Amino acid sequence: QDSPLKAVQMLWVNLIMDTFASLALATEPPTEALLLRKPYGRDTPLLSRTMLQNILGHAAYQLVIIFTLLFLALQRDQRPQDPRREERL
Those residues with Cβ within 8 angstroms of residue 55's Cβ, 6 or more apart along the chain or in another chain: 47
Write out pLDDT tens, residues 33-43. Answer: 878 888 888 89
- Say which DSSP state 89 is in: -
Q: Helix, strand or coil for residue 2?
A: coil
Q: Is the pTM of this model over 0.85?
A: no
Confidence (pLDDT) at 52: 95
Model confidence at 21, in pLDDT bands (50, 70, 90)? confident
Distance CA 71, CA 8 (A): 44
Instruction: Give the Cα-Cα-Cα angle 40, 45, 46 (nearest 5 degrees).
Output: 85
35-87 confidence digits (pLDDT tens)? 888 888 889 888 889 999 999 999 999 999 999 999 999 888 777 666 666 55
Q: What is the pLDDT of residue 30?
A: 76
